[in-house]
């Protein structure tokens, strides 16, 4: 069976290690979020986190820190590629510290300026639970009237611009502040810096002249430096898809489709170069055939995010749905992953985790502190559904 993982934000996470155990997960997905982006992780820091997870509670069910999500890729690597020598060396040093402690799966992303992007963190569903959502009209209102990006008007139709004006005109200052926080201030687990609006504009200016070909070349240059070391250490690197999987703010995004990933693997064929198979991110793009992608890239999948998104009528907005009820054929994806997993030795099994659960039940309490998308109960529901589906598939043979 694939290994059941759970993302944990460390000692300050409102979800405890015992909560993870009681959810039935065995493998922890975490990172040293307290280390500033671009600084090397130390062996001591890694060992302290590993001991906290694996050895701090005698007599409890065993947990294993098996996946790192993520070692952030500093912005200068995306803009400069191989010229960002110091940042790449620090990243390699972090990888070496992890490998020395036996942690061999590393997730990362290569999204410029903004990491995963949502306009709403508490969008109410018909059942009263709350989900995260990307509302394209609110996003356009931010881009055109809050960020005021000069090139934005050429990228939206007249009808879209009119609707964005209407949406913006109805916003209170509190609404505007919330939208800025959601988009620019770095969501939990983000691997990009929180930005004010002036900083956001300045950062975009630094990407002038960087199109998809240049960004793809810079990723290739980074991997050309990193993958030989990863191979020596037995580390598997897993590139997370763009979220959402399309250009934002005029910036290129290069991990959005099967073609993107095939180009990456053709450019850097190292066995250490892999994919984090995120069904939620990839599922936002209607052209992506996720079961086919799971089969195509199966040998390169060490880590999977199994969640679902549902596209809305405009084809651009979407929300986080229940894990088995989004646009992705989750059962077909699970069959492909389980088929691959059966070919692997015990030390190479795929780790998966539920992702972006709804805020529901007791987690809705006003006094309850939660991380958006990372509540205990919503993810517990997702993991239970996935586990049940996996058992049924395995029973059917």
Helix/strand/coil (H/E/C) assignment for every residue in 172-212: CHHHHHHHHHHHHCCCCCCCCCCCCHHHHHHHHHCCCCCCH
Report pLDDT digits (tens) over 63-121: 999 999 999 999 999 999 999 999 999 999 999 999 999 999 999 999 999 988 999 99
Block residue for tokens 């200052």: 173
Does the bond joining 70 to the residue before it have cis omega, within 30 degrees of 0?
yes
pLDDT of 311 higher than 80: yes
pLDDT range class, residue 193, cuts 50, 70, 90: confident
pLDDT at 185: 80
Average pLDDT over residues 21-35: 97
Region of 29 on the Ramachandran plot (φ > 0 left; ψ -120 to 50 alpha; else beta): beta
Query: Domains (ranges, CATH) in the chain?
Result: 3-118+209-311+319-396 (3.20.20.150), 122-201 (no CATH)
Contact assessment for residue 111 and residue 126, using Cβ atoms and an 8 Å cutoff: no
- Which among 340, 314, 323 is positioned nearest to 280, based on CA atoms? 323
Does the bond joining 244 to the residue before it have cis omega, within 30 degrees of 0?
yes
pLDDT of 189 higher than 80: no
Looking at the whole model, is its pTM more than 0.85?
A: yes
H-helix or E-strand spanning residue 354? strand 351-354
pLDDT at 351: 98
Alpha carbons within 13 A on the beta-carbon side of 23: 30
pLDDT at 192: 76
Neighbours of 208 (CB within 10 A): 7
Question: Measured in Å, how far apart are the chain's first and last C-alpha atoms?
Answer: 13
Task: Provide the mean pLDDT of the chain.
Answer: 96
pLDDT at 1: 83
Q: Please give the C-alpha separations between residue 313 and each of 28, 135, 157, 310, 319, in angstroms, as whole numbers.
A: 36, 11, 17, 10, 12
Which one has a higher pLDDT value, 187 or 324? 324
pLDDT at 190: 67
Average pLDDT over residues 143-162: 96
pLDDT at 186: 65
DSSP count for the chain of H helices, then E strands: 14, 12
pLDDT of 342 higher than 90: yes
Q: Please give the C-alpha separations between residue 16 and each of 12, 31, 58, 110, 370, in angstroms, as whole numbers.
A: 9, 15, 15, 30, 12
Strand ordering across the sheet containing 130-134? 120-124, 130-134, 318-321, 308-311
Report pLDDT digits (tens) over 358-371: 999 999 999 999 99
pLDDT range class, residue 188, cuts 50, 70, 90: low
H-helix or E-strand spanning residue 267? helix 258-267
pLDDT at 372: 92
pLDDT of 25 higher than 70: yes
Average pLDDT over residues 183-211: 86
Which one has a higher pLDDT value, 315 or 192? 315
Angstrom distance (rounded) from CA 373 to CA 376: 9
Locate 140 and state its tokens: 């356009």
Contact assessment for residue 106 and residue 95, using Cβ atoms and an 8 Å cutoff: yes
Q: Which of 69-83, 175-189, 203-217 has the lowest mean pLDDT?
A: 175-189
Residues serving a catalytic function are 240, 278, 305, 355-356, 374
pLDDT of 277 higher than 70: yes
């Amino acid at each position: 069976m694939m290994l059941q993982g759970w993302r944990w934000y460390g000692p300050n996470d409102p979800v405890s290690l015992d909560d993870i155990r009681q959810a039935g997960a065995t493998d922890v997905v975490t990172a040293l979020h307290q280390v500033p982006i671009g600084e090397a992780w130390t062996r001591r820091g890694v060992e302290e986190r590993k001991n906290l997870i694996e050895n701090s509670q005698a007599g409890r069910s065993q947990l294993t820190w098996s996946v790192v999500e993520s070692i952030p890729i500093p912005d200068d690597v995306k803009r400069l590629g191989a010229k960002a020598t110091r940042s790449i060396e620090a990243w390699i040093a972090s990888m070496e510290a992890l490998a020395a402690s036996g942690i061999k799966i590393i997730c990362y992303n290569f999204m410029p300026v903004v990491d995963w992007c949502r306009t709403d963190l508490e969008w109410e569903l018909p059942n009263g639970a709350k989900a995260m959502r990307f509302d394209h009209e609110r996003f356009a209102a931010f881009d055109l009237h809050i960020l005021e990006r000069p090139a934005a008007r050429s990228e939206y139709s007249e009808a879209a611009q009119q609707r964005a004006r209407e949406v913006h005109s109805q916003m209170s200052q509190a609404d505007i502040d919330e939208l800025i926080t959601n988009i620019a201030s770095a969501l939990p687990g983000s691997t990009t810096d929180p930005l004010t609006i002036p900083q956001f504009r300045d950062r975009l200016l630094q990407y002038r002249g960087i199109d998809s070909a240049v960004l793809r070349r810079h990723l290739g240059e980074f991997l050309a430096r990193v993958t030989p070391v990863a191979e020596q250490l037995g580390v598997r690197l897993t590139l997370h898809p763009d979220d959402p999987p399309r250009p934002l703010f005029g910036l290129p995004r290069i991990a959005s489709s099967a073609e993107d990933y095939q180009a990456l693997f053709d450019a850097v064929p190292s066995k250490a170069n892999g994919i984090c198979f995120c069904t939620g991110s990839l599922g936002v793009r209607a052209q992506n055939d996720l079961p086919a992608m799971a089969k195509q890239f199966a040998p390169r999948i060490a880590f999977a995010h199994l969640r679902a998104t549902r596209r809305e009528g405009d084809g651009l907005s979407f929300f986080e749905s229940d894990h088995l009820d989004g646009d992705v054929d989750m059962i077909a994806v699970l069959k492909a992953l389980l088929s691959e997993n059966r070919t692997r030795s015990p030390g190479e099994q795929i780790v998966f985790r539920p992702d972006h659960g709804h805020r529901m039940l007791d987690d809705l309490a006003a006094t309850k502190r939660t991380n958006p998308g990372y509540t205990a109960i919503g993810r517990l529901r997702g993991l239970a559904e996935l586990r049940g589906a996996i058992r049924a598939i395995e029973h059917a043979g």
